[in-house]
Amino acid sequence: MSTQRTYTLNFMGDVMLGRLIDQMFPQHVHEPEEQRIAQSLLKSHPKLSVYSIESPWGNALPLLHSADLNLINLETSATTHAVKWPDKIFNYRMHPANISALTVAKVHYAGLANNHTLDFSEPGLSETVKTVKGAGIAFAGAGESRFEATRPAILRLPAGGGRKELEAHVWAASDHPGDWASVANFHLIDYSQATRQRLKALLTAPASSQAALKVFSVHWGPNYAWQPSKEIRDLAHFLVDECGVDVIHGHSSHHVQGVERYRGSVIIYGCGDFIDDYALVKDFRNDLSGIWQVRVEQDFRDEDGGKLRLTRLEMFPTKIDRFQVRRLMADEPDTAWIADRIRGLSADVGTQVQVDDREGDLKLIVDLSSC
Q: Is the bond into 158 cis (omega within 30 degrees of 0)?
A: yes
Q: What is the pLDDT of residue 293?
A: 99
Enumerate the domain spans of the chain: 4-367
C-alpha torsion 232→235→241→242, nearest 10: -170
Taking only the tens place, the pLDDT of each residue in 230-263 is 999 999 999 999 999 999 999 999 999 999 999 9
Pairing label, strands 153-157, 4-15: unpaired
- Amino acid letter at 351? T
pLDDT for 360: 77
Q: What is the pLDDT of residues 125-155, one digit of tens each?
A: 999 999 999 999 999 999 999 999 999 999 9
Residue-level pLDDT at 277: 98
**Cα–Cα distances in angstroms (integers) from residue 140 to residues 127, 151, 342, in the given order:** 15, 7, 28
pLDDT < 50: residue spans in the chain: none
Q: CATH assignment of 4-367? A: 3.60.21
Q: Give the residue from 295, 317, 292, 308 showing the smallest Cα distance to 368.
A: 295
Query: Is-contact 270 223, C-beta < 8 A?
Result: no
pLDDT at 307: 86
- Look up the pTM and report it: 0.97
The DSSP code sequence of 206-273 is GGGTT-SEEEEEEE-S-SS-SSPPHHHHHHHHHHHHTT--SEEEEE-SSSB--EEEETTEEEES-B-E
- Report whether 56 contacts 50 (CB < 8 A): no
| pLDDT score of 299 | 75
Q: What is the pLDDT of residue 301?
A: 60
How crowded is residue 14: how many other Cβ atoms within 10 Å of its Cβ? 27
Residue 70 dihedral angles phi and psi, to the nearest 5°: -120, 130
